[in-house]
Amino acid sequence: MREQGMLIVVSGPSGVGKGTLCNILVSKVEDVFLSTSATTRLPRPGELDGVNYIFMSHENFEDKIKKGQFLEWAKVYTNYYGTPKDVVIKKLSEGKDVILEIDIQGAAQVKKNYPEGIFIFIAPPSIEELEKRIIKRGSDTKDSVDLRLKCAKEEIQAAFDYDYVIINEDLDTAALMLQSIVLAERCRVSRNKKKLLEIKGGSQL
């Protein structure tokens, strides 16, 4: 077990497939923990409190903001989203890699406070394909779809501030790319200095 886990931030436009890719990563790679975000939006059909999101009222969320209990938070459209700080810090200290699936506003906050994090942007192959995916999801009105597509164009510009970009054209390929990034980052010399020194010392016995 590593002494310190990696903080992995995954962002991208609504409907691009971030959640699916993160879930595949957790199922394929050991010691990866997917942080559950808190939100004030209403649950979508099939979503469970504490599983998909931690659902809370605007008043409760704003109280936690005042108490500094979020690693990051943002108001997206008309609702709040945020990452509870205590769980993330605990998992990192246990050597677990923690994934934050968050919007670009939240990612910017994390990068400012935790620059050693790994920042990965998931992009659609085209705006037209993104529109098809959002409509297929069946949970958005036409006005909501239009708003999400407008925001997507602005969000894609933010990709230039990330470390990696994955174009989610084919799900299996995109999932493999995400896994490869995480595994490669684990192999950085800077993350394995203690182990290398132990090996070097052992070879001298």
Annotated binding site: 12-19
Instruction: Summarize the annotated binding site for ATP as residue ranges.
Output: 12-19
> DSSP code of 159?
G
Query: Rounded CA gap, 45 and 4, in Å?
Result: 37
Beta-strand pair 70-76/79-84: antiparallel
Count of all residues that appear for the chain in the document: 205
Query: Rounded CA gap, 155 and 116, in Å?
Result: 22
H or E element at residue 100 = strand 97-101
Query: Rounded CA gap, 16 and 166, in Å?
Result: 11
